[in-house]
Structures are given as structure tokens and as C-alpha cells.
Amino acid sequence: MNKRLMMIWGFVVFLIFATVLIIGFNKMDKVLLKLERDIKTSTKKYVKDNNIELKFNKMHVITINDLITNEYLDENENIEKYCIKNIEITKGLFSYEYNIIKDCSKEND
């Protein structure tokens, strides 16, 4: 009886821990998804305002600093937290594709 009770309590503690962990990861994912959506929206506006046109299957790179400096994007601590550095724009068959490039390597200045 005593062993069984300990197993049940151990399982309950495990479930509580797993639930808290899953909720924490979901919140972090929502922050990252919103940040990526904001960056892509800002990049699209930057491309339109600066008349950047690409030929099919060609790529252009815009840095996060360009977007912040030109006031298309507000500074955000999550940009550095998620190591977002550049946005690659590629001309597809019908539209542009925006890929966010993350690089967490330390720069040697």
C-alpha cells in the first residue's frame, strides 16, 4: 500500500512538472512566431519602399540593423535573444519568399 501511494504521488508530480514545461515552451513559441511575423511584415514594407526587385531565383539579404536603422522595425530584446541577424529574400515563381536567418555565433570585434 505504501509503495503504491508513493508511485501515485510521483506520477502526479511528474504530470504537474510536464504540464508547466509544456506551457512554458508554448509561450516562448508564441513570442518567436509574433516576432518573425513582425520582421517579415517590416521587410516587405522595406522592399516595397526601396523598390527592390529581384529576378527569378535570385537572392537579396537585408540585415536586421537596416530595418531598425531605417525605422521599419523597433528594437526588441527578443531579436538578440533569438539570434536573428538577416532576412534573405528570394524571388520565387509567383512571389517573394522571406527567410529569417539566425546566427548565435559570437562576433569578434
Q: How many CB atoms lie within 10 A of CB 56?
A: 8
Q: What are the tens digits of pLDDT across the range 71-85?
A: 999 888 888 888 999
Q: What are the tens digits of pLDDT across the range 27-65?
A: 667 888 899 999 999 999 999 999 988 888 889 999 999
What does the alpha-carbon distance between residue 109 and residue 38 come to, in Å, rounded to a whole number? 29
Residue 27: per-residue pLDDT: 66
Q: Check whether 108 has a pLDDT greater than 50.
A: no
Residue 32: per-residue pLDDT: 85
| Lookup: cell for 89 | 529574400
Residue 104: per-residue pLDDT: 85
Q: Check whether 109 has a pLDDT greater than 50.
A: no
